[in-house]
Amino acid sequence: VSAALKQGRVTPTELCQRCLSLIKKTKFLNAYITVSEEVALKQAEESEKRYKKGHSLGDLDGIPVAVKDNFSTAGIETTCASNMLKGYVPPYNATVVQKLLDQGALLMGKTNLDEFAMGSGSTDGIFGPVKNPWSYSKQYKEKRKQKSHGENEDSHWLITGGSSGGSAAAVSAFTCFAALGSDTGGSTRNPAAHCGVVGLKPSYGLVSRHGLIPLVNSMDVPGILTRCVDDAAIVLGILAGHDPKDSTTIQDPVKPFTLPNLTDMSKLCIGIPKEYLTPELSSEVQSLWSKAANLFESEGAKVIEVSLPHTSYSIVCYHVLCTSEVASNMARFDGLEYGHRCDIDVSTEAMYAATRREGFNDVVRGRILSGNFFLLKENYENYFVKAQKVRRLIARDFVNVFNSGVDVLLTPTTLSEAVPHTEFIREDNRTRSAQDDLFTQAVNMAGLPAVSVPMALSSQGLPIGLQFIGRAFCDQQLLTVAKWFEKQVQFPVIQLQELMDDCSSVFENEKLASVSLK
Partner 1 sequence: MWTRAVWLGLRASAGGRRGFPSKADPQGSRRVTAELIEHLERLALVDFGSQEAVARLEKAIAFADRLRAVDTDGVEPMESVLEDRCLYLRSDNVVEGNCAEELLQNSHRVVEEYFVAPPGMCCPKMA
Q: How far is the CB of 390 from partner 1 (least distance, A)?
A: 5
Answer for which of 166, 271, 339, 412 binds partner 1 (CB under 8 A) is 339
Answer for which of 143, 144, 365, 518 binds partner 1 (CB under 8 A) is 365
The packing angle between helices 12-25 and 497-510, to 10°, is 160
- 233 three-state secondary structure: helix
Answer for which of 269, 277, 304, 344 binds partner 1 (CB under 8 A) is 344
List, in sequence order, every residue forming a beta bridge with 111; answer none if it has no partner: 32, 68
Whole-number CA gyration radius for the chain: 22
Cα separation, 433 vs 161, whole angstroms: 10
Residue 362 near partner 1 by CB under 8 A: yes
Cα separation, 188 vs 164, whole angstroms: 6
- Assign 3-class secondary structure to 330-367: HHHCCCCCCCCCCCCCCCHHHHHHHHHHHHCCHHHHHH
Site for partner 1 in 176-205 (CB under 8 A): 204-205
Residue 130 near partner 1 by CB under 8 A: no
Q: How far is the CB of 40 from partner 1 (least distance, A)?
A: 23
Q: How far is the CB of 268 from partner 1 (least distance, A)?
A: 25
Measured from the CB atom, the residue of 45 and 358 that comes closer to partner 1 is: 358
Query: Residue 189 contacts by C-beta under 8 Å, 6 or more apart in sequence?
Result: 183, 199, 201, 223, 413, 440, 450, 451, 452, 465, 467
Measured from the CB atom, the residue of 46 and 77 that comes closer to partner 1 is: 77
Residue 351 near partner 1 by CB under 8 A: yes
What's the distance, CA 284 to chain centroid? 23
Pairing status of strand 178-183 against strand 64-68: parallel
Measured from the CB atom, the residue of 194 and 310 that comes closer to partner 1 is: 310
- Identify whether 187 is a catalytic site residue: yes
Q: How far is the CB of 350 from partner 1 (least distance, A)?
A: 6
Pairing status of strand 302-306 against strand 269-273: parallel
Nearest Cα neighbor of 411 from 366, 452, 472 is: 452
The packing angle between helices 362-374 and 429-436, to 10°, is 70
Nearest Cα neighbor of 450 from 185, 238, 196, 237 is: 185
Q: Rounded to the nearest 10 degrees, how much is the dihedral formed by the CA atoms of 114, 221, 454, 412?
A: -90
Nearest Cα neighbor of 178 from 15, 27, 413 is: 15
- Identify whether 163 is a catalytic site residue: yes
Measured from the CB atom, the residue of 177 and 333 that comes closer to partner 1 is: 333
Query: Residue 262 contacts by C-beta under 8 Å, 6 or more apart in sequence?
Result: 268, 480, 481, 483, 484
Sheet holding 269-273, edge to edge: 32-35, 106-111, 64-68, 178-183, 221-226, 198-201, 450-457, 463-469, 408-412, 269-273, 302-306
Cα separation, 512 vs 230, whole angstroms: 13
- Binding-residue total with partner 1 (CB under 8 A): 73
Active-site hit among 163, 208, 433, 516: 163
434 — phi, psi (to 5°)? -65, -40
Answer for which of 48, 334, 436, 486 binds partner 1 (CB under 8 A) is 334
Measured from the CB atom, the residue of 140 and 318 that comes closer to partner 1 is: 318
Candidate segments 120-128, 166-174, 179-187, 239-247, binder of partner 1 by CB under 8 A: 239-247
Active-site hit among 68, 99, 131, 201: 68
Residue 492, exposed/middle/buried by CB under 10 A (0-12, 13-18, 19+)? middle
Q: How far is the CB of 228 from partner 1 (least distance, A)?
A: 28
Q: How far is the CB of 124 from partner 1 (least distance, A)?
A: 14
Query: Residue 387 contacts by C-beta under 8 Å, 6 or more apart in sequence?
Result: 316, 317, 320, 321, 324, 374
Site for partner 1 in 402-441 (CB under 8 A): 428, 430, 434
Answer for which of 472, 479, 481, 499 binds partner 1 (CB under 8 A) is 472
Measured from the CB atom, the residue of 138 and 341 that comes closer to partner 1 is: 341
Site for partner 1 in 9-68 (CB under 8 A): none
Site for partner 1 in 375-394 (CB under 8 A): 376, 382-383, 385-393
Residue 446 near partner 1 by CB under 8 A: yes
Answer for which of 38, 345, 498, 501 binds partner 1 (CB under 8 A) is 345
Residue 257 near partner 1 by CB under 8 A: no
Candidate segments 24-32, 131-139, 264-272, 372-380, binder of partner 1 by CB under 8 A: 372-380
Site for partner 1 in 304-333 (CB under 8 A): 310, 313, 316-317, 319-320, 323, 327, 331
Site for partner 1 in 198-237 (CB under 8 A): 204-205, 218
Q: How far is the CB of 396 from partner 1 (least distance, A)?
A: 9
Residue 338 near partner 1 by CB under 8 A: yes
Residue 86 near partner 1 by CB under 8 A: no
Candidate segments 165-173, 300-308, 355-363, 402-410, binder of partner 1 by CB under 8 A: 355-363
Answer for which of 257, 297, 302, 373 binds partner 1 (CB under 8 A) is 373
Residues designated catalytic: 68, 163, 187
